[in-house]
Chains A and B, each alone.
Chain A
Amino acid sequence: MSEEDEVTRMVILGPAAQVSQSQVVGELHMLELPLTIKSTCYGAVVHGKEEDVMKAIQEIRKLDPANIFTKDRGFPPGDPRRCRAKRGGAREGFHQLEKEFELLGYVGEALEWPEPVILKKHSKISPEEFKKIAEECEP
């Protein structure tokens, strides 16, 4: 199997997740798939053949569908170009993950209790209407 056929996925637990990182890693190991599994502060990193990784992701989502999130990762786990152990400091992409993590609780909530919404389509306004608005805004 060449390196190019392999994919890496991050499993991220939302703040309201009912499972812990170690439980996720344990479950991933129990699947007995040929994968590299790494436990991390946000969840786990799974690396291997695409079909095995996707199967693992589908299974692991079942633990807590609304609070387990996954994302592709370009670099394989422990890659010296990205691994904190080699280069020090936060890994690239960590700050983004940190920022998005702040919203994951609300995302999970919205997934659990979906509400119907109407998608607004913005239409163009006529020049007359625009002129009227511009005049109203003039001091």
Chain B
Amino acid sequence: MKIAIFPPNSLILADLVERKGHEPLVLQKEIRKKVTDPEIDSPPFNITEDEPIKGLKYAAIEVPSGVRGRMAIFGPLIEEAEAAIIMEDAPFGFGCIGCARTNELCMFVLRKQGIPVLELHYPETREETMEVVNQINTFLDNLESEDKEGGD
């Protein structure tokens, strides 16, 4: 199954999803398309004027172009998702996910998709981390069994 993760560049989430045989929908795959595309001739300006236009599908015109530009990349990932794991309160400036409004919009769109969603808080301690890992693994195992039942 294709699992959307949030933050979409999280090492822990992507690794755990992959360990269970699912496909994590990570941001890096979308970024790779941008940075290795021969048509884009002036990197690192990989976001062209087309992106905010594509982002209009997810956010209104009044929304800052930065949010719409980001949504042009996150949106297709969210649409592909068959399930999602959201880890809230990730440390500020978590990688390139530095835009709080885009984060809120992404989480909103994920919740509105009608897919199974596991919501967690970013762990800070040993106990919290172990609980989070066990919860993610249980969630992924349940998805597998649901998938098999659905297939039969």
Contacts and interface: CB of A to CB of B under 8 A. Distances in A.
Interface string B79-96: 000000000000101111
A79 B31 CA distance: 14
B28 A73 contact: yes
Given A8-B32, A70-B18, A92-B95, A100 B12 contact: yes
Contacts of A106: 123, 126, 129-130, 133
Contact of B35 (A72, A75, A95): A75
Contacts of B33: 4
B65 interface: no
B4 interface: no
Interface residues of B, number: 42
Interface stretch (A19-27, A30-38, A113-121, A129-137): A113-121
Interface residues of A, number: 37
Grouping DSSP codes into helix (H, G, I), strand (E, B) and loop, the A interface class, with mixed when no group exceeds half, is mixed
Contacts of B29: 72, 74
A18 to B, nearest CB: 18
A116 B138 contact: yes
B14 interface: yes
Interface of A: 3-4, 6-8, 10, 12, 69-76, 79, 81, 92-93, 95-97, 99-100, 103-104, 106-107, 109-111, 114-119
A70 B126 CA distance: 21
Grouping DSSP codes into helix (H, G, I), strand (E, B) and loop, the B interface class, with mixed when no group exceeds half, is helix
B113 interface: no
Give the 10 A-B residue pairs with the shortest CB-CB distance, closest first: A74-B31, A110-B133, A96-B95, A106-B129, A72-B28, A110-B130, A74-B28, A74-B32, A117-B134, A71-B11
Given A74-B31, A81-B44, A93-B96, A104 B12 contact: yes
A107 B129 contact: yes
19 contacts: A4-B33, A4-B36, A71-B15, A72-B14, A72-B32, A74-B27, A74-B28, A75-B31, A76-B36, A92-B95, A93-B96, A95-B93, A96-B91, A99-B94, A106-B123, A114-B133, A114-B137, A117-B131, A119-B118
Contacts of A93: 9, 95-96
A117 B95 CA distance: 30
A111 B133 CA distance: 7
Given A92-B96, A117-B134, A103 B129 contact: yes
A97 B142 contact: no
B14 A74 contact: no
Interface string B9-30: 1111011101100000011111
Given A93-B9, A100-B11, A115 B32 contact: no
Nearest to B34: A74
Given A71-B14, A103-B123, A106-B129, A79 B35 contact: yes
